[in-house]
Copies of this chain bind each other. A is one copy, B any other.
Amino acid sequence: MLNEQGYHIAVVGATGAVGKKMLETLEKKNFPIKSLKLLSSSRSAGNKIEFKGESFIVEEAKPESFEGVQIALFSAGGSVSKKLAHEAVARGAVVVDNTSAFRMDKDVPLVVPEVNEADIANHNGIIANPNCSTIQMVAALKPIQDKYGISRVIVSTYQSVSGAGDAATDELKQQTQAFLNGDELKPELLPVAGEEKHYPIAFNALPQIDVFQENGFTFEEMKMINETKKIMHAPELSVAATCVRLPFFNAHAESVYVEIDDENVQVSDLQNAIANAQGVILEDDPTNQVYPTPLSATDKSEVFVGRVRRDLDNSKGFHLWVVSDNLLKGAAWNSVQIAESLVKNNWL
């Protein structure tokens, strides 16, 4: 494991759904690591985790934990990031934060490397990883924006439970079995842990992800709206979102309507732009029933796009179906990509 040319890395939230995927991704992509610190809440401290054949003991995350750390990947919830990210930076670490704590801060770059890698250079110690449903959408839209300009986006999401953590995955499993057995469903977590009401997710669809804002949109929807504008450097872009939690375990899908600036673009032009984009794979052949699904995208790093077609009434309008693994490109892999970029470009 030890790599003298590697870096001192910490993973905060190492026992969570995303933290585990971060470790898998660091291992799979062979990220150069000189030392690895696995951090968590006091509740999970003491757990053992295997990494590249070595056993690591999870420690409670404290300010002192970050002494000597060069890159800290945070994914332990916004309150932990707010408490500890600046402590890590004060001790010399660069933080890649996978919570919403700093995403909209003016001096914090919000980065999807395929879209705005150069923004990383302007970091002041913290780089934010966007919301999962935002990442896959902007990765799919970027090649279209670059070639044809985009003015408007309306998205409806189909989001898996793993975005709400391991407990939500367990809840879907348990409720599903209970439903099949004819037993009563006892929702305790979804749509939002900590909210007053809980609804069954098994064989259902919940039009609420995160808490409602005063304007009637949920916080998840506002994340998609605001983060998209920031990542794409497009404050004037119109973005609307409806976010829905669905009974599948992994990967998010999105029905995206996009208006471009040029009305002479053909479907094949858009397909070519998408097919040639970095990190994006076109899976679009209706004649042969080829399109991505949550199951087909699971465990893959890329963003998959299918169902590209022109609106029948607006020649500047197109519809897309965008699918990606929310724990990988939507979280762990995007964070590790940011870490790779920090290293490759000497932006640490």
Which residues of A line the B interface, CB within 8 A?
Answer: 152, 154, 156, 158, 173, 176-177, 180, 191, 195-197, 199-200, 203-208, 212, 215-217, 225, 238-240, 242, 244, 246-249, 253, 255, 257, 267, 286-289, 291, 293-296, 306-314, 317, 319, 321
**B173, B310, B313, B319: the one within 8 Å of A242 (CB):** B319
* A-B residue pairs, 5 tightest by C-beta: A216-B309, A238-B313, A156-B156, A156-B255, A212-B286
Min distance, Cβ A191 to any Cβ of chain B, angstroms = 8
Complex contact A248–B204 (CB within 8 A): yes
User: Once bound together, how far apart are the Cα atoms of A204 and B250, in whole Å?
Assistant: 9
User: Once bound together, how far apart are the Cα atoms of A177 and B195, in whole Å?
Assistant: 30
- Please tell me how many copies of the chain the complex holds: 2
User: Once bound together, how far apart are the Cα atoms of A212 and B191, in whole Å?
Assistant: 34
Note all chain B residues with C-beta closer than 8 A to A321.
207, 242
**B152, B293, B310: the one within 8 Å of A207 (CB):** B293
Complex contact A240–B313 (CB within 8 A): yes
Note all chain B residues with C-beta closer than 8 A to A286.
212, 216
Complex contact A208–B253 (CB within 8 A): no
Q: Which residue of B lies closest to A313 (CB)?
A: B238
Complex contact B246–A317 (CB within 8 A): no
Complex contact B158–A246 (CB within 8 A): yes
Complex contact B205–A246 (CB within 8 A): yes
Complex contact B203–A312 (CB within 8 A): no
User: Once bound together, how far apart are the Cα atoms of A304 and B15, in whole Å?
Assistant: 41
Complex contact B255–A244 (CB within 8 A): yes
Min distance, Cβ A218 to any Cβ of chain B, angstroms = 8
Complex contact B294–A204 (CB within 8 A): yes
**B204, B216, B288: the one within 8 Å of A197 (CB):** B288
Complex contact B253–A205 (CB within 8 A): yes
Complex contact A291–B208 (CB within 8 A): yes
Complex contact A207–B312 (CB within 8 A): no
Complex contact A197–B309 (CB within 8 A): no
Note all chain B residues with C-beta closer than 8 A to A319.
240, 242
User: Once bound together, how far apart are the Cα atoms of A196 and B314, in whole Å?
Assistant: 32
Complex contact A203–B154 (CB within 8 A): no
